Amino acid sequence: MIVVDPVTQEIIEGKLAATVDEMGVVMARTSMSPVIYEVLDFACGLLTLKGELVAQMNGITLFTGTFGTQVKSLIALYGDDLEDGDILLTNDPYSGGTHACDFAIVKPIFFDGRIMAYAINVAHYLDVGGSVPGSLAPNAISVFQEGLRLPGVKVVHNDRFSGEVLRIIRENVRLPDIAIGDLTAQVATVRVAARRMGELCRKYGIDIVEAAFNHLLATSEKQARAAIAALPDGIYQAQDIIDGDGVTTDPIVVNVAITIAGDRLTADFTGCPPAVQGPINCAAGALQSAVRTIFKALVAPQAPSNEGWFRPLTVIAPQGSVFTAEKPSPTGWYYEGSVHASELVWKALAKLMPERFSAGSYTSLCVVYISGKDAAGQPFIHIEPQHGGWGASKDADGANALIALTDGDTYNYSVEVIEARFPLIVRRYALNVEGGSGAGRRRGGFGVIRDYEILEDGASAYCSFGRTETAPWGIEGGKSGTLNLLQVEDSAGRVTSFGREPHIALKRGDLVRIITGGGGGWGEARAREAEHVRRDVEDGYISEETARTLYGLEERMTG
């Protein structure tokens, strides 16, 4: 067994972190889609020859747990049929991925004639074909309506692009130049990773580098086990409701049982319903990732992510459920389903570790697709996640206007970029204090209101909002948060409201209004300190009536 000295170990780990960060910089600077270079809807990672994650840049939270499952599926598919200079592509949700819009580019990294690691870049494409612009029909009932799937192809062989694969992509997407531009940007990032790993191996030798990988994973595993062992053994349960699937508005009841036993944690989703008709299903890889997100927050929220942290975690779920969908169940809006798996684990553990977890949040990314043609007659597709209110914690009010749990280190567009790139004007961007948030000794954070004016006729929109009926949950007497909502206001002032809607016809002058909800409260509202209530009134966060009726401010001042 090779033992790596501590200094060398630290240098190698620093090189890994620097490499994935460099991959991210290259991607943001060279990609074509604003959803990639502005929103940062992508992530990059490095994995061992067995497909175990050793380093990942900050990025989409949900990709943390899919890298390993995607690479392992490709290893199983290709076996020894890989050569130096090969680069693979997969966007298959049923092979460890998410949905067809997320293209995973994977490069086996060779040194001295054998694979020593894999580099991966997963990025969201604006369009991959399918029944609607943007490919995510909210009422899809089959994956075959959700665009092109390429479940493990060699997009590059002997360091040359496959003309056949590029032609297939070009002929099946609505924005081919942008798609190919994003693809070449992804390929550039994994080539950067290969160069950097080659530098490491030439300096220290491949055996030392692989030993450093193993030490990193073992150390993280040890720390994770110690964190779990410090918690009380027991079974912790939670239940939640998904508000419809895009085809029907029927509530979907989901549940989890978390078992902590010694230094292991098991998340059991037995009892969750079968895959639903609509596209809020997620496949098993996305479920793993959704649970890992919360597990990581439990054991080491600030430490860099790698596979070692998750070795003490077991996820159980029956095949073919809403969280483990199989072909041909649609998964286009998988993040609207998988976030409920994250929320379930979060909810089950919140009281166990109140210093880490808060009350319920607005949850849904509240994504709206707006498409049409600009003034020059060129097609456009605008996709953007929205920020919202997070729940209160035991000792602090909830965060205002923070990105949802699934998306991690991502952003919405700046107003200037939207107005420069699309035939839209942002008329309002403000905290959603009108809807409020969950009252409590510590109140929930506020969501946002964002108004887009449509500048061209013939545009359309679609959306799939969660938490439109079931509000974010409070804790220890804290009130529930508020709901998400999409509104369209026409030039005559008529307002129509939507939740999950497959087609909204728009015309010049219409306002598309996105309203995100506020988080749940923690503790009884009347236990909130009077000075905090007064400050909320002075800041315009709550009305004087709310201060009286919910927080009892006058009673406490005169009692």
For the beta carbon of residue 297, count every other beta carbon within 10 angstroms.
19
- What's the one-letter identity of residue 173? V
87-90 and 102-111 beta bridge pairing: antiparallel
Helix, coil or strand: residue 532: helix
Q: How far is 304 from 301, CA to CA, in rounded Å?
A: 8
Q: How many whole angstroms separate alpha carbon 368 and alpha carbon 44?
A: 25
Look up residue 305 and give its DSSP letter. P
Q: Amino acid letter at 1?
A: M
Nearest C-alpha neighbor of 118 from the set 130, 107, 102, 103:
107
Q: Kindly write down the DSSP assignment for every residue of 255-272, as one continuous string.
A: EEEEEEETTEEEEE-TTP
CA distance 441 to 521: 7
pLDDT at 559: 46
229: Cβ contacts below 8 Å, ≥ 6 apart: 262, 263
Q: Which two tokens stand for residue 554?
A: 């006058």
Q: What is the pLDDT of residues 436-485, one digit of tens each?
A: 899 999 999 999 999 999 999 999 999 999 999 999 999 999 999 999 99
- Tens digits of residue pLDDT in 202-218: 999 999 999 999 999 99
497 Rama sector, left if φ>0, alpha if ψ -120 to 50, beta otherwise: beta
- CA dihedral defined by 518, 363, 221, 109, rounded to 10 degrees? -130
pLDDT in tens, the chain (559 residues): 899 999 999 999 999 999 999 999 999 999 999 999 999 999 999 999 999 999 999 877 778 689 999 999 999 999 989 999 999 999 999 999 999 999 999 999 999 999 999 999 999 999 999 999 999 999 999 999 999 999 999 999 999 999 999 999 999 999 999 999 999 999 999 999 999 999 999 999 999 999 999 999 999 999 999 999 999 999 999 999 999 999 999 999 999 999 999 999 999 999 999 999 999 999 999 999 999 999 999 999 999 999 999 999 999 999 999 999 999 999 999 999 999 999 999 999 998 999 889 999 999 999 999 999 999 999 999 999 999 999 999 999 999 999 998 887 788 899 999 999 999 999 999 999 988 899 999 999 999 999 999 999 999 999 999 999 999 999 999 999 999 999 999 999 999 999 999 999 999 999 999 999 999 999 999 999 999 999 999 999 999 999 999 999 876 555 4
φ, ψ of residue 84 in degrees (nearest 5): -60, 130
Contact 470, 241 (CB under 8 A): yes
Dihedral, CA of residue 26, residue 31, residue 36 and residue 42, to nearest 10: -50
The structure tokens 């490919």 sit at 135
